[in-house]
Structure 1
Amino acid sequence: MKKLDLARALLPDPEVLFLDEPLEGLDPGSARKVKDLLLEMKENGKTVFLTTHNMYVADELCDRVAFIVEGKIALVDSPGELKVKMGKRLVRVEYVAGNDVKIAKFPLENLGRNEEFLNIIKNYEVKRINTEEPTLEEIFLKVTGRRLV
């Protein structure tokens, strides 16, 4: 979407705005400004529908996303709920074993009863622990069975 087209669409201060790939072709600075503008519109109660192949944009800007497969809506939910329902949340542990830094991943469910996880926490120097959740792109691939183009 060109900046001029976006400016023209915003002139009448619409309550509902439809945008097709609003960040495509923009430099990073301009893309950030457009994202901020869209988030501000959302905060002001405006409704913005956007189509995008960029799942990071959808995750950052959208309250709800819909995956369309062969012309039909296959799935609709918030990005957060899709990640919880469709993905596997993991705990990633980086620890020192001898002279090596090792990485282990564990399902978040029943983590406190996972013997391997507990062994690492008790017996090794832990450098870092963080959670990993699936991306919208991974969920899209799971739902549709195909890659984004």
Structure 2
Amino acid sequence: MKAIEVVGLTKYYGSFLAVDNVSFEVRKGEIFGFLGPNGAGKTTTVRTITGVLRPNSGEIRVLGYDMLDEREKIKARERTGIVPEMANPYVDLTAMQNLRLMGELYGMGRGEIEKRSVELLKLFDLYEKRNMKVRAFSKGMRQRLILAMAMISDPELLILDEPTSGLDVISARLIKDVIREEKRKGKTIFMTTHNMIDANELCERIGIIRKGRLIAIDTPEKLKQLVRGSVSVEVSFEPMKLETSSISSAIRVELMGDKARVFTNDPDATVKELVYYAERKGLRIVSLRTLSPSLEDVFIKLVGEKND
């Protein structure tokens, strides 16, 4: 069974076309990333998938349930945990009270709520703060609590909108570890993100949306194969000097602090040229390595092409 099936999704705001005939599926048990620049239609797509917005046309099924049917939508939501954009817990309640409230909304029994709340507070390193009002929590603590609240009913599917946005390294890592563990348990995770490193680390497949249209969907490694001329050689000299015109195999050169990144279609030739350049100029090579295209390279190229 597919966890999410979207066919021909179209959504207008007045005369503005926000999502244009988008179709994709999310397989059960995978982590699927949904990427796009601001205003591309990501949030509108998420809101239609979760049933907050009704599309003008198209079909949406979540865990086999028709999201355009009100009774089936309720059944799908009972098995789904959602962290929407700009979500916030109730700041005048404690962490434990927020979890209890969410458990009650899901119709869980009191004993089950208490047991699950303690498990999640410990998992997200919030147990010692369980009786503290959320108003005193940092952004990272609030985001961890929001994800815990979404997981209170042990849902089959998690839909996460920017789960690590703006977080400190420790909070972001903890959330990523939890996402990986949920996937290991067989859960499905659909996540939007602007963080290309997170997407590359976590997602088995990625969809990229631009101006309301899905322009690419595949595994991160296969998407990287779409980008030609983005293989690069990163070099650091001491002292750091590089006359870019001296490297004939370079497509372009980016200077980054004490390093230079030389983009090329022939990395072997570029490495040889850089070594020869260092010898001629009397420079010491501090570091030299070949880099494959990154997901960020793919994103910039695909989004840029569609923007031309």
5 Å-filtered alignment, 1:1-149, equals: 1=87, 2-87=143-228, 88-94=230-236, 102=242, 105=262, 107=264, 109=266, 111=268, 114=269, 117-118=271-272, 120-121=274-275, 124=279, 126-145=285-304
Equivalent residues of 1:19, 1:49 under 8 A apart? yes
Deviation at 1:51, TM superposition (A): 0.8
Match of 2:226, SS? helix
Alpha-carbon spacing, 1:101–1:48, altered in 2? closer, same or farther (3 Å): same
The one-letter code sitting in structure 2 at the alignment partner of 1:118 is: K
Distance in 1 between residues matched to 2:210 and 2:178, nearest whole Å: 29
Distance in 2 between residues matched to 1:131 and 1:18, nearest whole Å: 36
Q: What are the Cα deviations for residues 32-76 of structure 1, in whole angstroms up to 9, with x where unaligned?
A: 110111112223332110011222221222111111112221111
* RMSD of Structure 2 on Structure 1 (CA): 2.9
Alpha-carbon spacing, 1:32–1:58, altered in 2? closer, same or farther (3 Å): same
The one-letter code sitting in structure 2 at the alignment partner of 1:105 is: V
Distance in 1 between residues matched to 2:191 and 2:297, nearest whole Å: 20
Distance in 1 between residues matched to 2:169 and 2:151, nearest whole Å: 20
Equivalent residues of 2:233, 2:267 under 8 A apart? no
Structure of larger gyration radius: 2
Distance in 1 between residues matched to 2:299 and 2:274, nearest whole Å: 34
Deviation at 1:19, TM superposition (A): 0.7
Q: Paired residue for 2:34?
A: none
Distance in 2 between residues matched to 1:100 and 1:5, nearest whole Å: 46
Distance in 2 between residues matched to 1:82 and 1:51, nearest whole Å: 17
Alpha-carbon spacing, 1:91–1:16, altered in 2? closer, same or farther (3 Å): same
Distance in 1 between residues matched to 2:267 and 2:170, nearest whole Å: 43
Paired-residue identity, %: 37
The one-letter code sitting in structure 1 at the alignment partner of 2:291 is: E
Number of equivalent positions: 141
Equivalent residues of 2:164, 2:175 under 8 A apart? yes
Equivalent residues of 2:233, 2:262 under 8 A apart? yes
Deviation at 1:7, TM superposition (A): 0.9
Distance in 2 between residues matched to 1:20 and 1:92, nearest whole Å: 34
TM-score normalised according to structure 2 size: 0.39
Match of 1:75, SS? strand
TM-score normalised according to structure 1 size: 0.73
The one-letter code sitting in structure 2 at the alignment partner of 1:60 is: E
Q: Structure 2: any 5+ residue segments left out of the alignment?
A: 1-86, 88-142, 243-259
Distance in 2 between residues matched to 1:62 and 1:18, nearest whole Å: 13
Distance in 1 between residues matched to 2:165 and 2:236, nearest whole Å: 37
Equivalent residues of 1:93, 1:130 under 8 A apart? yes
Alpha-carbon spacing, 1:71–1:109, altered in 2? closer, same or farther (3 Å): same
Alpha-carbon spacing, 1:118–1:23, altered in 2? closer, same or farther (3 Å): closer
Deviation at 1:101, TM superposition (A): 5.3
Equivalent residues of 1:94, 1:104 under 8 A apart? no
